[in-house]
Amino acid sequence: MSELRPWHLSLVWSLALGHWHLAHAGDWPQILGPDRNGIAQDEDLADAWPADGPPVAWEREVGSGYAGVAVAEGKLVLFHRLRDTEFVAVLDAATGDDVWQQGYPTTFNPQVGGEDGPLCVPTIVGDRVVTFGAEGMLSCWNLATGDLHWQHATHEEYGAQEGYFGAGSSPIVEGNKVIVNVGGFRSTAGIVAFDLETGVEAWRCIDDHASYSAPQAVTIGDTRHLLAVTRLNCVSLDPETGGVRFEFPFGGRGPTVNGATPVVIGDHLFLTASYGIGAVYGTIGETAFKSEWASDILSSQYTTPIEVDGLLYGMDGRQDGGPTSLVCIDPAAQQLLWQEEGFGYGTLIWADGKLIILGTDGRLHLANVSREGAEVVANTEVLTGTARALPALANGLLYVRDETTLKCVDLK
């Protein structure tokens, strides 16, 4: 599996990228961690917790939004809304102390639900921070100083709609390009790439609405694929040019959501969604996707399953109603190995051979999992509100938030 992940953290970006580089091991610089797969690197965690739970290193009040934090080189990026402003704040990751804060006005009001803050996890690359706000405001900031390098009001510029909850697909940086699921369905701007340094549009492609699924990138053989799930399709793009390598339907019209990030297992692709959509598994070819099966074996509303040794651990069901369970499937065999209820709905991180489960009810679980089953070795309440924001794990510190509070929990 490792040779097929996105470029390793220790690699320097290509000459076209110049001084830009990925964060170091132990960081959590973007959605789902260093490789966008929910797997933390080089972590050494405690095997159990005290009776009253792991210690809280620090906590602070935050504004609205479901955007998880990003962490790199000792800095934490918080993206939230206070009153009529979306703020990007950089904190000291170890202490929670303020480093800088910048903001811009917003009038966003969601079609569904009452949470009016940003949804997308910031992306840190070198000395740049990219944020994508609920109204589609794409911004690039200087990580050290907070200076604004460039900004695009993408919904206005490309005629995109806000969707049920606002823009929710966290951008990806490939080479020197920021690639965003914008949703400009009338202007061949479903997905748009911008130059990381200048903000100038590099390319645009496809006519489709945006989803809440973050893009993923992978090299299969000699071919680099940018995999993105839109409102109704999954596409593979050439990240340099925006050329479409392949495209196939995934999703459903009406009140449905594609929220989970594509999962790559060797040369195979796994997609999952709830709302009657289910899962798809198949082979990634250079110019085609070959489906091997489609079923409801794992139907996740927005949690991205985690692949370990060819098995997938995921959350089946929906946070907003219906039965939910933690499941383990063997995708190659299309086999459900086990399912465990009692966690509610939640999000997942794999670290140090352990599965960390943050339930939307604010409870944190530590479990040993294998193809034989799951053994919970510790659990505690870390938040009192609803925890929909994705957690982040960096250097043994777990960052979790609900509607009002951000906490740093020491799992070392």
Neighbouring C-alpha atoms within 13 Å toward the C-beta of 23: 30
H/E/C letters for each residue in the chain? CHHHCCCCCCCECCHHHCCCECCCCCCECCCCCCCCCCECCCCCCCCCCCCCCCCEEEEEECCECCCCCEEECCEEEEEEEECCEEEEEEEECCCCCEEEEEEEECCCCCCCCCCCCCCCCCEEECCEEEEECCCCEEEEEECCCCCEEEEEEHHHHHCCCCCCCCCCCCCEEECCEEEEEEEECCCCEEEEEEECCCCCEEEEECCCCCCCCCCEEEEECCEEEEEEECCCEEEEECCCCCCEEEEEECCCCCCCCCCCCCEEECCEEEEEECCCCEEEEEEECCCCEEEEEEECCCCECCCCCEEECCEEEEEEECCCCCCCEEEEEECCCCEEEEEECCCCCEEEEEECCEEEEEECCCEEEEEEEECCEEEEEEEEECCCCCCCCCCEEECCEEEEECCCEEEEEECC
CA 205 vs CA 158, 162, 193: distances in Å:
12, 19, 9
- Round to whole Å and give the CA distance between 164 and 161: 9
Q: List the beta bridge partners of residue 314.
A: 327
Per-residue pLDDT of the chain (412 residues; tens, 9 = 90+): 333 333 333 333 333 333 344 556 689 999 999 999 999 999 999 999 999 999 999 999 999 999 999 999 999 999 999 999 999 999 999 999 999 999 999 999 988 877 899 999 999 999 999 999 999 999 999 999 999 999 999 999 999 998 889 999 999 999 999 999 999 999 999 999 999 999 999 999 999 999 999 999 999 999 999 999 999 999 999 999 999 999 999 999 999 999 999 999 999 999 999 999 999 999 999 999 999 999 999 999 999 999 999 999 999 999 988 899 999 999 999 999 999 999 999 999 999 999 999 999 999 999 999 999 999 999 999 999 999 999 999 999 999 999 999 999 999 9
Strands 244-249, 233-237: pairing kind: antiparallel
pTM of the model: 0.94
Residue 294 structure tokens: 């489609």
Count CB atoms within 10 A of the CB of residue 149: 16
- Both tokens of 316, joined, read 């089946």
